[in-house]
């Protein structure tokens, strides 16, 4: 296959997957059929495009092909066939609804995937699969579970949606607030998977996932302009995304925040993020988790260089966050800020208390490695880098950690007998 | 339209107070008026259950329920609803009226 065709297929997969699944789900009312048929349509594209050329409108070609595959499949499978239903499917050529905020097909798909009748970890998996177009192995890696277990989880969820008839729609206005927090959690995870992609074979940053998460959060904000956490998550994503191009070097290595070229940060995204954070502060309403995280990122992006960062404010914001969410990951992140304010020794003491809970988490070992390095404890630092590299799934991060490890001296100079 | 079984979970049978029974009556009238009503009933306790196993024509009759649990189905509604969201809303009203937790399951 020529590079052009491969690129076209990759681009179509990133850009059109969710749209095709959503269009089929709407038409056939069956997520399983929608997803299988979409996958078949992409498989057909891989076979046909190299010979026939890339169609002028790949999205329309994929949707039409997927619809044919779906109808074939329904015909094949409907032993107890419902002729009427079939006839309706064959003739339902309604133009897709207006693409206003509420009618966004992908948003419906997200609310369906994030229905409260599904378990939280299932909602994320299903959203990544159906909306993000991630493969089951990719999702399994992101969640550190076996591929077969993840496959079964997704299959069971789709079966429940079908059997219990979980509706394919954006919930009504009065149900929205209650359903939104689950959706935000999922969108944040999709964003994070894009920002720090986990696979050894995937690019380190998957812009299609970060931009899709941002796009959908924007749509959600149009629906719920008064919801502080929606605004907070949007601000958080924008302020994080603003640093994206500065975050990975030309050589494919992660660049830490203090070493990033701040001139390469996206000023428009930062301005928009800051505006949202200020808008939330002005309401005087106690901020939730996303608003606090957005505020932390606003402090970072306010500083003209790393040394100008207001670390005391960042630690204060983390203190607020710990009260809301005392999870070990939040405490780990707080200790990174503490290291800047009170020194690496104080931070290391905090970090070491989290060892039991975070031993399987690469960022825990990476943080320890850095603190140990700054304290001159090279031998222990190297061991911590080794462990972090072993656990890290992101290629740019692995490259960064490897370089940091290799910069350490050959001998542990901190231990003098 | 789909039918949903809404089971009332309790550790006793026929334990509703007068207020609860009155609330259930009001709730049922509302469900009937809205056209979601199919059937409802209370069930006697599992102590009164008898299990029959006649699969091999053996005519086995055993005293007691098929599974021993602290909580069990003490009653149920069958609702007709277009989708799960409507069924969940009805079930939420039922749970509030009878002051017990309920389980929603679709009929095949």
- Is B106 close to A163, i.e. CB distance below 8 A? yes
Question: How many A/B residue pairs have CB atoms within 8 Å?
Answer: 24
Nearest CB neighbour to A166, from listed B84, B105, B108: B84
| Chain A contact set for B6 (CB, 8 A) | none
User: So where are chain A's domains?
Assistant: 3-97, 225-250+258-309, 335-412
- Is A165 close to B2, i.e. CB distance below 8 A? yes
Q: Which residue of A has its CA nearest to B2?
A: A165
Rounded Cα gap, residues A282 and A333, in angstroms: 26
- Is A165 close to B88, i.e. CB distance below 8 A? no
| Chain B contact set for A167 (CB, 8 A) | 82-85
H/E stretch holding B33 reads helix B18-34
| Chain A contact set for B87 (CB, 8 A) | 164
| Chain A contact set for B5 (CB, 8 A) | none
Q: From 1.25.40, 1.10.10, 1.20.1530, 3.30.1380, which CATH number describes the A335-412 domain?
A: 1.25.40
| A173 touches B at CB < 8 Å | no
pLDDT at A323: 96
| Chain B contact set for A171 (CB, 8 A) | 85
Are A247 and A300 in contact by the 8 Å Cβ rule? The answer is no
pLDDT at A271: 97
pLDDT at A100: 42
| A164 touches B at CB < 8 Å | yes
For the stretch B65-74, contacts whose Cβ atoms lie closer than 8 Å and that sit 24 or more positions apart, written own/partner, are B70/B11, B71/B9, B71/B10, B71/B11, B72/B9, B72/B10, B72/B11, B72/B45, B72/B46, B73/B7, B73/B8, B73/B9, B73/B43, B74/B8, B74/B9, B74/B10, B74/B12, B74/B13, B74/B14, B74/B15, B74/B42, B74/B43, B74/B45, B74/B100
Measured in angstroms, the CA of A117 and the nearest CA of chain B are apart by: 9
Name the B residues in 65-94 with CB < 8 Å from any A CB. Answer: 82-85, 87-88
pLDDT at A411: 59
pTM of the model: 0.75
| A117 touches B at CB < 8 Å | yes
Measured in angstroms, the CA of A179 and the nearest CA of chain B are apart by: 12
Above 0.85 for ipTM, yes or no? yes
- Is B83 close to A117, i.e. CB distance below 8 A? no
- Selected for mutation to probe chain B from A164, A176, A179 (highest B CB count within 10 Å) is A164
**Over residues B44-56, mean pLDDT:** 92
C-alpha gyration radius of chain B: 16
pLDDT at A82: 60
pLDDT at A393: 79
Q: Which residue of B has its CA nearest to A167?
A: B83
Tens of pLDDT, residue by residue, chain A (417 residues): 678 888 888 888 877 888 899 999 888 888 889 999 999 999 999 999 999 999 999 999 999 999 999 999 888 877 555 655 554 555 554 444 444 434 578 888 888 999 999 998 888 889 888 887 888 887 887 666 788 999 999 999 999 998 999 988 888 877 787 789 889 988 998 898 888 776 666 777 778 788 888 988 998 898 788 899 999 999 999 999 999 989 988 888 889 898 999 999 999 999 999 999 999 999 999 999 999 999 999 999 999 888 899 999 999 999 999 999 999 999 999 999 999 999 999 999 999 999 998 998 999 999 999 999 999 999 999 999 999 999 987 888 899 999 999 998 765 555 554
Q: Which residue of B has its CA nearest to A170?
A: B85
Q: Which residue of B has its CA nearest to A175?
A: B85
């Amino acid at each position: 296959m020529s590079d052009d065709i491969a690129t076209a297929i990759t681009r179509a997969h990133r850009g059109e997957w969710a749209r095709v699944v959503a269009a089929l789900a709407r038409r056939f009312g069956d997520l399983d059929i929608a997803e299988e048929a979409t996958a078949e349509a992409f498989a057909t594209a891989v076979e046909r495009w190299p010979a026939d050329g890339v169609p002028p409108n790949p999205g329309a070609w994929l949707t039409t092909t997927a619809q044919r595959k779906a109808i074939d499949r329904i015909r094949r499978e409907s032993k107890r066939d419902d002729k009427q239903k079939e006839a309706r499917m064959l003739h339902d050529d309604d133009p897709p609804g207006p693409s206003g905020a509420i009618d966004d097909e992908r948003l419906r798909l997200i609310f369906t995937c994030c229905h409260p009748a599904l378990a939280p970890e299932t909602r994320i998996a299903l959203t990544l699969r159906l909306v993000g177009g991630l493969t089951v192995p990719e999702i399994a890696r992101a969640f550190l579970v076996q591929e077969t277990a993840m496959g079964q989880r997704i299959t069971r969820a789709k079966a429940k949606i079908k059997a219990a008839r979980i509706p394919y729609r954006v919930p009504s206005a009065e149900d929205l607030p209650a359903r939104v927090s689950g959706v935000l959690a999922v969108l944040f995870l999709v964003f994070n998977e894009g920002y720090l992609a986990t696979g050894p074979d995937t690019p380190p940053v998957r812009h299609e996932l970060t931009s899709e998460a941002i796009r959908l959060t924007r749509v959600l904000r149009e629906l719920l302009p008064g919801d502080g956490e929606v605004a907070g998550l949007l601000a958080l994503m924008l302020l994080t995304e603003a640093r994206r191009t500065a975050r990975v070097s030309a050589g494919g290595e992660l660049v830490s925040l203090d070493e990033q070229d701040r001139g390469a940060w996206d000023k428009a995204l930062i301005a928009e993020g800051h505006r949202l954070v200020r808008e939330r502060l002005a309401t005087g309403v106690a901020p939730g988790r996303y608003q606090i995280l957005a505020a932390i990122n606003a402090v970072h992006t306010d500083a003209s260089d790393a040394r100008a960062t207001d670390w005391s404010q960042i630690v204060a914001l983390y203190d607020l966050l710990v009260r809301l969410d005392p999870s070990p990951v939040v405490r780990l992140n707080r200790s990174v800020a503490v290291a800047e304010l009170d020194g690496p020794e104080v931070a290391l003491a905090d970090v070491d208390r989290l060892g039991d809970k975070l031993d399987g988490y690469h960022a825990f070992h990476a943080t320890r490695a850095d603190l140990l390095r700054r304290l001159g404890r090279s031998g222990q630092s190297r061991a911590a880098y080794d462990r972090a590299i072993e656990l890290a799934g992101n290629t740019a991060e692995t490259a960064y950690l490897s370089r940091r490890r290799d910069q350490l001296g050959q001998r542990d100079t901190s231990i003098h007998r | 339209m789909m039918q949903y079984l809404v089971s009332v979970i309790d550790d006793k049978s026929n334990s509703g107070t007068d207020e609860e029974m009155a609330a259930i009556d009001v709730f049922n009238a509302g469900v009937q008026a809205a056209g979601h009503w199919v059937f409802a009933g209370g069930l006697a306790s599992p102590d009164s259950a008898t299990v029959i196993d006649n699969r091999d024509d053996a005519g086995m009759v055993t005293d007691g329920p098929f599974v021993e649990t602290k909580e069990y189905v003490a009653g149920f509604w069958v609702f007709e609803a277009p989708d799960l969201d409507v069924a969940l809303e009805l079930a939420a009203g039922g749970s509030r009226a009878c002051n017990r937790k309920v389980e929603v399951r679709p009929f095949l």
